[in-house]
Amino acid sequence: MRTRGMLVRSATLADGRRRDVRVRGEVIDDVAEDLDAGPDERVVDATGKRLLPGMIDVHVHFREPGFGHKETWGTGSESAAAGGVTTVVDQPNTDPPTIDATAFDQKTAYAEQSIVDFGINGGVTADWSPAELFECPLFALGEVFLADSTGDMGVETRLFEAALQQARRNDVTVTVHAEDAAEFNLSAKERDDPDAWSAYRAAAAEEVAVRRACELAHEHDAQIHVAHTSTPVGITLADSTGMTCEVTPHHMLLSRDDLRDLGTHGRMNPPLRREKRRQRVYDLVADGTVDCIATDHAPHTREEKDAGIWDAPSGVPGVETALPLLLAEVREGDLTYERVRDLTAKNPAEIFDLARKGTVAEGTHADLVLVDPGNSREIRGEDLHSKCDWTPFEGWRGIFPELTMVRGRVVYERTPDGEESFGDPIGQNVRVHEEPDPAERLVER
């Protein structure tokens, strides 16, 4: 899939302008009208199609090391590319957890299988080795759990404050899983229906934890990013205190009403909320209050998820379906292309200082996704590329990429007759790859 150059002709950008986009090497060389094709360039006719910056998914669990039966960096990154994701950030709750330099290096070796760029988050446990960990090219410190989740990585307030102080000294953002276990509804444990998990991990648990995390961040002059916010109160608290937050597609589009069909496959942390809360979360995504969409891609096998509600592991896959679902919402008139661009690319790049990613502009990385807005297809787990082979969005419709590029290399392509091909594992750690000063970031034009 390697080419010396590419000219994407007559593409419609997120803001509606029609432009030719020339790619040379790893970067976008020109964005203009009526560019002439060079003799060594592949020309792609994008008439009637949208060219978007690749999605930066700042929250995935690609499971290696330790849980390769659920997902690998190879299968996870192929799933990402097929969904228009060009950069992923992996979370620390693997085996071993990413809490020291040895574990960081071990995960980096697995990440060499990736066909998309990546970041690696460090974690915090009672055995945390901050001196070692901060010597590594971390993307961020997180996911720091204020309540136990997959991997038993919950931390107490004292350790959380120590993490904030270390992160501030090292100019690293702390990604927070905000749930306060003291607010869990213990009476729900007497139930065994699929909704019991949502009743147990009550909305108040998130709201109390977000408030406290934001207070402590201000106290220690640190910056936090609240992961997978699932309540309107949690979102507005983060926004009102100058912190950032993400929302997942499942918290945006699914509610407790869907658990009748999903069963234990709908168990995740935080859990699905009531329909009224879900709709308000959607509104906050649409109106600009929410900073970004991240998937919390957390695959488990069907056999694992088929256990009872108190035994099934938490988490759902989502890295391949996020952008297609959002683009389908644009088609329905509920979002705009510009808002999707900001949620999936521009804002994550700005929040985490990825100066050469997140826009379609001269000099930025050619991380590009080409889609045909008129061509949607039904989402089926068996057609997706994640190792777990299922999706909570079975039967929904999505607008999937025809072509995905990472730093000028085509890593995924689908022909009109449905034939697919993937590129080589060329993914790089975004904290190692040289980045210009964010102040010099070029604007999209």
Query: What is the set of active-site residues?
Result: 296
Q: Rounded to whole angstroms, how far apart are CA atoms 10 and 16?
A: 11
| HSE value, Cβ hemisphere, 13 Å, CA-based, for 91 | 27
Amino acid (one-letter) located at 24: R
How far apart are the C-alpha atoms of 390 and 384, rounded to whole Å? 8
Dihedral sign for Cα 94, 100, 104, 105, please: negative
Asked if 229 contacts 238 with a C-beta cutoff of 8 angstroms, the reply is yes
The 117-120 sheet, strands edge to edge: 55-60, 85-90, 117-120
Strand ranges in 304-424 using DSSP code E only, listed in sequence order: 368-371, 377-378, 397-398, 401-406, 409-414, 420-422
Helix (H, G, I), strand (E, B) or coil at 152: coil
Judge contact between 295 and 322, C-beta under 8 A.
Answer: yes
Helices (H), 154-195: 157-169
Query: What are 176's two structure tokens?
Result: 């927070």
Which residues on neighbouring strands pair with residue 154, listed in sequence order? 145
- Contact present, 285 and 325 (Cβ < 8 Å): no
Contacts (Cβ under 8 Å, ≥6 apart) of 278: 251, 252, 253, 254, 255, 272
Residue 16: CA count within 13 A, CB half-sphere: 2
One DSSP character per residue, 232-263 reads HHHHHHHHHTT-EEEE-HHHHH--GGGHHHHG
Q: What angle in degrees, to the nearest 10, is found between the helix axes of 203-219 and 232-240?
A: 10
Phi and psi at 409, nearest 5°, equal -105, 135
